[in-house]
Amino acid sequence: MTDRPFAIAQQDLARAYAGGAPGVLVSGVVWLVAGAVWQLHGTMAAFAALFFGGMAIHPLGVLIERIAFKGPKATVGKPLEALAIEATIPLFVGVLIAWVLLIRAPDLAIPVFASIVGARYFLFRTMYGEIAYWVLGGTILLVAALALFGIALPLNPGFAIGIVELVAAALILRRWQARR
């Protein structure tokens, strides 16, 4: 049995933000840029790319939603808007922890930050009513765990997470369009 007002709130948020796919797309591009910067200039520069690129994810995602998908604004006062804002708090904590690690244990900084990002995606399942966010979060957590335990990946974690997010964005967008 579905809680009807809750399902309506999820549908409203999904309609306003194209299921969240544009934000995941922009995030994937930010991770790819960070991966390239990591490869060329090291961890400190990659962290800066993630930090500044991360600040652009929401505004660029909204811009894509409004232009490409003509998304309406979410209905004001929906409980899921509060969850979306609250889900940002752990992200800020993750940035702080990763920044400290950047100084004390640079090899762990970006994988720890990726862990926070992956864990945050689990909340998106509740916000958008889309199970693919659990798969996305779990996959990012797996990539982060492999990096944290020193298990070599064929790509640096920035590239790996960027690719995972781009694939997830396409999947989420396709599923959102099928439900419209």
Please list the rounded mean pLDDT of every run of 10 residues in the chain (180 residues): 76 90 98 97 96 95 92 69 84 94 96 96 94 98 96 93 98 93
pLDDT of the residue at 67: 92
- Sketch the domain layout of the chain as residue ranges: 4-179
For the whole model, what pTM was predicted?
0.93
CB-count exposure of residue 77 (10 Å: 0-12, 13-18, 19+): exposed
pLDDT of the residue at 75: 65
Rounded CA separation 16/21 (Å): 11
Rounded CA separation 141/10 (Å): 24
CB-count exposure of residue 136 (10 Å: 0-12, 13-18, 19+): buried
